[in-house]
A and B are shown apart, each in its own frame.
Chain A
Amino acid sequence: MNIAAIVNNQTQSPEAVLFFILAPIMVLAALGMLVVKKAVHSALLLAVVMVGLAIFYIANEAPFLGIVQVVVYTGAVMMLFLFILMLVGVDSSDSIEETIKGQRIGGVLGSVGVGFLLISLLSRAELGQDYVGLDLINSEGNVQSIAKVLFTRYVWAFEVISALLITAALGAMVLAHRERILPRKSQRELAAERVRQTSIPVAGLPGPGTYAQHNAVDIPALLPDGSPSDASVSKVIAARGELANPANFRMKESNGNSANGEAGEE
């Protein structure tokens, strides 16, 4: 029995079962995309929807598209997404707070409005004819019939879309490809360069806290002459103004002022 057969404009019950199981899952997955914090989760949920769609394509007598959906979309495109997500930082996640005033409520209201209008319009829609089904057309095989139309009726679009593919490739190259302007440096040159650069000590940076009473990360090391070494503390700490002054931790000599540990006066 052809489960895709349409009788009295109604599909067969197996298809209905399929639909009512899959469709909620897909909707939930899609909604999930909106609420999960991590981008990777969104991607995976999208993959769920896409697979569901692939199944529906097959159910809708478009087996070729169903396969393509799985192979190209879920396979290739989603992989590309994931790949880029990895590149960007797989654990990057959105903060929950909405920064644009009214955006979230507006977005929800707008989309709900559009959805409501769409569905209410669709509910009033009539095709004006009986469902035909693709039995006849698919009788030669779905792929064959697609091919037949693709290479006759839509051959022009097919040709033009090659331009799109080339554009995409070219675009990706423009944005990602780095033309080498200088010849690549050899290992030897790099090493020599490093030694030549006086700003970077060959022996590595001095650790924080060296020659001092404290060895916390925010205390600069003291150079042999007693002055603090800027290079010994992470720039981040310095930038955040949390650098402690090593002088505070000097041994008290005659000065009655006790070291009150007030760090980072400047």
Chain B
Amino acid sequence: MNGTSQMLVYLIAIPLFSAAFLLLGGRALDKVGHIIGTLASSAAFVIGLLEFFAMLGRAPENRGVTQRLFTWIEVGNFNVGASLFLDQLSMCFVLLITGVGTLIHIYSIAYMSHDHDRRRFFAFLNLFIAAMLLLVLGDSYLSLYVGWEGVGLASYLLIGFWNQKPAYATAAKKAFVANRVGDVGLSLAVMIAFVQFGSVSFSGVAEGVEAGKASSLALNCLGAALLLAAVGKSAQFPLQAWLGDAMAGPTPVSALIHAATMVTAGVYLISRSHFVFDVATIAQTLVLIVGAITLLFGAIIGMAKDDIKKALAASTMSQIGYMILATGLGPVGYAFAMMHLLTHGFFKAGMFLGAGSVMHGMNDEVDMRKYGALRKYMPITFVTFGLGYLAIIGVPPFAGFYSKDKIIEIALDAGGAKGIILGSITLLGAAITAFYMSRVMLMTFFGSKRWDAGTHPHESPSLMTIPMIILAIGSVTAGFIFNMGDRFVKFLEPVFHSEHGGHGEKAHLLPPIVVSALALTAVAIGVSIAIAKYGRGKEIPTVAPSDVSVWTKVARRDLLQDDLNEALFMRPGQELTKALAIVDEKVIDGAVRGVGSLTLDVASGVRKTQTGFVRSYALWIVVGALAILAAITLVTL
């Protein structure tokens, strides 16, 4: 039985009103905008913490709380309330969002201090926080949908924050449109849910699935639709193309939205819908496939990127691939996916902030080929980034090790060929991750100075370094804390009702220690290759060499993802549009005008019968008489 809480709405309302206040307040609030924004976010974090402790105070089975606000939509039996629901799964997200969010707010105060529109930036960040919280707190798919699009909007606004640059504006649009494709999936999912179960709330659908109201086909369709939504939002294959471009936004945005929180919404959606995927096996397999492909896809792109943010973005894509893959493994995977999600939130956000710090010191330069030897100039950044690096490549005892190792483990345990394939992919991914992250490390902080003239790298102010430090601490410790005694898994257990039974009790393909060893070996290989290529003594050209293999070129072009989209959708779409414009002008309107001019032609033709000759008029009379006579003759025949 779930309890209720009257606090939940404030989680959303405070940042939301703050955002509105900042936007409507205008320039008058320029001086205090960032403070208000940060306070709003912190307030939400505090509420989140309060709720968390309140939750811990309840029995594991009764930890969910709801708050019914008002009836949102009710037509016939389509009844959606504006209601909030907080359980352990949401709680993870609430804390991640508000916590990391607040840190990034703080970081942004300094990062954006020279920006004319900082107030607006904070408004958008608050808007994002509110939308993301709605996403995870909504008790129905439709409420989730609102948050879902809300974060999409915030993402659009933030990516395009400097939209006076056309490329940034385009990136924002691209992100939104790609997300829209995913939204189609979510829309369809809601419809299927409504038609099948008569309800769109999570509990309603879960009950419906349990009661067996839906056919397997319907469930698989529902699952596929949900997956489509997740793919769009989480930049998974084949809708991954927007994420790289999304790095156009200010770096804190990349850290918060495009690393820690929003892009993981897909994982949340799948986990939240575990009751569907648990029975929709085809959809579940699809989830696995998507996760596996994206994992490698992102990793491969990451190897070729010289732009530090894009390299990190590719890494994000890849890491989310891990999470998706984990969710695709069924009950055993959800918790590990969540765990990886949280640890990833820490270390990836930290690394992004570090990247931001580097850029801050390097005149917003993003090309790693123009970095080098920065460790001396920005020690804090180096350390925090380095800790994040160790976490992501999965060096024990950093956070990433615990979470990623588990995923590799359960992937191998999936059984049979599937297990071996998935396991190999995850291991390969780990090796590549180690390679390209080492590459980033080496190119940025080690080696020779390759800076542009006039660059004076310096450490960032403390408002920026403190969040980085906090996140670094998280990257170091989170994995260990979570994993201690399966604490995290147990925390989430009531949500997933996983007959978890244990991990460990089931027969493993390989013993955990062997898996860890394999993983570490893979990491070691990756790191070694990176050192061999980019390590001490290796000269890194400041311009990317062009005499590289086709594969490198392809990888640099994001594995041709944009080219494919362009060839498959944009071009034909543009042609279709042009064709339709012509059809509209010539055919449809033309037909109408044609009827008009035809009438006119007929008119001027028929008009000629009016010759002005009396005799021809008389002839008409005779012809008419003839016709009438003939007609009447015919009638009487």
Contact = CB atoms under 8 A, between A and B. Distances in A.
Nearest to B637: A124
A118 B629 CA distance: 8
Interface in B592-637: 611, 613, 615-616, 619, 622-623, 625-626, 629-630, 633
Contacts of B623: 106, 110
B147 to A, nearest CB: 81
Contacts of A117: 626, 629-630, 633
Interface in A97-131: 100, 103, 106-107, 110-111, 113-114, 117-118, 120-121
Contact of A111 (B613, B622, B630): B622
Interface residues of A, number: 12
B619 A121 contact: no
Contacts of B633: 117, 120-121
A39 to B, nearest CB: 16
B613 to A, nearest CB: 5
Contact of A107 (B611, B622, B625, B630): B622
A110 B630 CA distance: 12
A137 B623 CA distance: 40
B494 to A, nearest CB: 98
Contact of B615 (A107, A113, A118, A120): A107
Given A100-B611, A100-B613, A106 B619 contact: yes
A3 B192 CA distance: 103
A106 B619 CA distance: 7
B619 A110 contact: yes
B622 A121 contact: no
A114 B613 CA distance: 21
B555 to A, nearest CB: 82
A100 B615 CA distance: 9
A106 B616 CA distance: 9
A118 B625 CA distance: 11
Given A100-B613, A103-B613, A121-B633, A114 B625 contact: yes
Contacts, number: 32
A110 B622 contact: yes
A121 to B, nearest CB: 6
Tell me whether chain A's interface is mostly helix, strand or loop, or mixed. Answer: helix
Nearest to A112: B626
Contacts of B611: 100
Contacts of B615: 100, 103, 107
B626 A103 contact: no
Given A117-B633, A121-B633, A110 B626 contact: yes
Contacts of A107: 615, 619, 622
Contacts of B616: 100, 103
Interface in B439-460: none
Nearest to A118: B629
B387 to A, nearest CB: 102
A40 B611 CA distance: 28
A107 B623 CA distance: 9
Contacts of A121: 629, 633
Contacts of B629: 114, 117-118, 121
Contacts of B625: 114
Interface in A200-236: none
B619 A114 contact: no
Contacts of B630: 113, 117
A113 B625 CA distance: 10
Nearest to A111: B622
B622 A103 contact: no
A35 B324 CA distance: 104
B625 to A, nearest CB: 6
Interface string B350-363: 00000000000000
Nearest to B611: A100
Interface string A74-115: 000000000000000000000000001001001100110110
A106 B615 CA distance: 11
Contacts of A106: 619, 623
A121 B613 CA distance: 31
A118 B619 CA distance: 17
Most chain B CB atoms below 10 A, which of A110, A114, A121: A110
Nearest to B619: A106
Contacts of B619: 103, 106-107, 110
Nearest to B624: A110
Contacts of A100: 611, 613, 615-616
A110 B617 CA distance: 13
Nearest to B622: A110
A133 B208 CA distance: 102
19 contacts: A100-B611, A100-B613, A100-B616, A103-B616, A106-B619, A106-B623, A107-B615, A107-B622, A110-B619, A110-B622, A110-B626, A113-B626, A114-B622, A114-B625, A114-B626, A114-B629, A117-B633, A118-B629, A121-B633
User: Can you list the 4 inter-chain pairs with the closest CB atoms, starting with the nearest?
Assistant: A110-B622, A117-B629, A113-B626, A114-B626
Given A107-B622, A120-B633, 10 more contacts: A103-B615, A103-B616, A110-B619, A110-B623, A110-B626, A111-B622, A114-B622, A114-B626, A117-B626, A118-B629
